[in-house]
Chains A and B, each alone.
Chain A
């Protein structure tokens, strides 16, 4: 039920949490004309963690570093799932059956019912790729 699976990279920024942080980061990325394809951010204590998938991470990372952001890049698996009950369960069960831990996951379905795009990072992305394909 996985429509399409491929490897990708995401930008990871961890820094003190304050109002306007995501706005500042997205302003840098927008000014380069780069589209953001996935985003997840949360605060833990005083720290904010921001994860972003873009169509051009390299350029975005370079610009963010120039602005003083401490940026890492994580390998992720991008998967497109049919927008139906059970597709997430199918993907997660296959990973669990192979003892693959999902370190994080985020994504939303399309408002028009197209496949949902999900970003996942697991304990073994190479194995996850072959299982989900």
Chain B
């Protein structure tokens, strides 16, 4: 039930957690007119913030973030998946991965409010195999 699957890179930023960090990072993207396709952010137990963003112009954004002093930046290969917006499509994807013993390292996404396919970002223990399984 995955309508579309492909590999892409996500920008993975680690910073000390404080109010305004995501505002600051998204401002850098805005200034470059780079659209953020997906975002996840959370604080870790060690009071760091992890911010994960997917854009279609990572190289420029990473360069700009580094020049602003963001040091702990890496690019992580992820799968970008479009799933039908209906009951069971996430289950179908997860059980296919589980049957192949593929571990989901992280996943985030949301449906479209208008009912279009949901877009999911996912990193697994074996992205190439996951791509083949989900295609």
Contact = CB atoms under 8 A, between A and B. Distances in A.
B87 A40 contact: no
A26 B116 CA distance: 20
A35 B87 contact: yes
Chain A interface secondary structure, helix, strand, loop or mixed?
mixed
Contacts of B34: 85
A111 B82 contact: yes
A89 B91 contact: no
Contacts of B119: 108-111
Contacts of A42: 42, 105-107
B90 A96 contact: no
A108 B109 contact: yes
Contacts of B45: 44
A108 B40 CA distance: 9
Contacts of A103: 42-43
Contacts of A44: 44-45
Contact of B108 (A86, A92, A106, A115): A106
Residue among B37, B39, B120 having the largest count of chain A Cβ atoms under 10 Å: B39
Contacts of A104: 40-43
A29 B113 contact: no
A6 to B, nearest CB: 11
A111 to B, nearest CB: 5
Interface size bracket, B side = 35 or more
Given A40-B108, A44-B45, A102-B41, A35 B85 contact: yes
Interface stretch (A17-25, A64-72, A125-133): A17-25
A53 B20 CA distance: 25
Nearest to A88: B26
Interface string B7-29: 00000000000011011001101
Q: Nearest 3 CB-CB pairs, A to B? A: A110-B112, A92-B23, A96-B20
Interface of B: 4, 19-20, 22-23, 26-27, 29-30, 33-45, 54, 82, 85-88, 90-91, 94-95, 97-98, 101-114, 116-121
20 contacts: A22-B107, A35-B87, A38-B110, A39-B90, A39-B110, A41-B106, A42-B106, A44-B45, A88-B39, A104-B40, A104-B42, A105-B22, A105-B41, A105-B42, A106-B41, A107-B40, A107-B108, A108-B108, A110-B112, A117-B110
